[in-house]
Structure 1
Amino acid sequence: MTTAADIMNPGPQWIPATETLDRAAQLMRELDVGALPVSDPTDPRERMMGIITDRDITVRCVAAGHDPSHVTAGDLCQGTPRWIRSDASVDEVLDEMESHQIRRLPVIDDDKRLVGVISEADLAHHLSDEQLAHFVERVYA
């Protein structure tokens, strides 16, 4: 059985909730990624408090007239972060992403530590054409 660990990108880069969005955008450019998990710097276990995307920075900060050098990653984190265990099946991954209409899904290990992220590109490399079409239909509906 293919698991989340088999299809994820390992070793995701964190950004602290206290870091500004201009730095987040720079880090995204350096890493060539479109999203960063946000960590709670007050939690010694570095737990994830959310995820921010390049689109969040553009739409919710810059287009809203805010200065990204004065808005933090934590300011954009809303709601409960979604994640999946590394031993979850591909069907569970798809269900989580489809039911919440998300395009990137953090992966955690047994100790609830972030070990990877699954993106649409990862799915495209591991799903059948039929599975991928169903995913796209559900997430973009």
Structure 2
Amino acid sequence: MSERLTAGEICTREVAIAYRHTDLVTAARLMREHHVGALVVVDETQGLRTVAGVLTDRDIVISVIAPELAPDDLTVGEVMTAKPVTAAEDASLIDVLRSMRAHGVRRIPVVTAQQVLIGLVALDDILEVLAQELGMLAATIGRGIQRERAQRT
């Protein structure tokens, strides 16, 4: 990793996807199968996947289950969040966090300059990176204390 962490470096590259025409029950099964709370909805052209939307478990609960709609009759395209917030692969970790906060989202698809999907950054990914950074900080403090004790004995 570089000194300046980017979305492309911390994102999960194996992303669970769905298409607009995928039925909602199949989408829910995909979430369960992949142990995720969101699917990136893509359009595929010439083998390249561009982001069309995001479908979250919350979208299903709020838009389908709560109003007692029949999930069998709906597609992902009818329930997804269209035009989701995305992050460029070279966006900084701070920029990703700011975007998450500004838009009230926990996951952001990461795209190339051509808007092709390359991964997904979730708050979990960011928390893991921050935990590693805090661990290094704590180790640095501990090492400094050890060095000082060694010099004074």
Q: Smaller-chain TM-score range?
A: 0.7 to 0.9
Cα distance in 1, alignment partners of residues 73 and 41 from structure 2: 17
The yes-or-no answer on 1:95 pairing with 2:98 is: yes
After superposition, give the CA deviation of every residue in 1:50-83 in whole Å (9 maximum; x if it has no partner). 1010111122111211111111110013452110
SS in 1 for 2:72: coil
Report the CA distance between 1:126 and its aligned residue: 1.3
- The answer for unaligned runs of 5 or more in structure 2 is 132-153
Residue correspondence of structure 1 range 1-141 to structure 2 within 5 A: 1-40=4-43, 45-127=48-130
Q: Counterpart of 1:3 in structure 2: which amino acid?
A: T
- Deviating 4+ runs (over 3 angstroms): 43-46
Secondary structure in 2 aligned to 1:33?
A: coil
Helix, strand or coil for the counterpart of 1:69? helix
1:24-54 deviation line (CA, Å, top 9, x unaligned): 000000001100011236x554422210101
Task: Provide the rounded CA distance (Å) in 2 between the counterparts of 1:46 and 1:9.
Answer: 16
Q: Which runs of 5+ in 1 are unaligned?
A: 129-141
User: Normalising to structure 1: TM-score of the pair?
Assistant: 0.82
Aligned partner of 2:138 in structure 1 is none
Q: Larger Cα Rg: Structure 1 or Structure 2?
A: 2
Partner SS, residue 47 of structure 1: strand
- What amino acid does structure 1 have at the position aligned with 2:43? D
How far is 1:105 from its partner?
Answer: 0.5
Give the paired residue count: 128
What is the aligned-residue RMSD (CA, Å)? Answer: 1.8
Query: How far apart are the structure 2 equivalents of 1:78 and 1:31?
Result: 20
From the superposition, tell whether residues 9 and 78 of structure 1 become closer, same or farther in structure 2 (CA, over 3 Å).
Answer: closer
Secondary structure of 2:28's match?
Answer: helix
Distance (whole Å) between structure 2 residues aligned to residue 79 and residue 30 of structure 1: 23
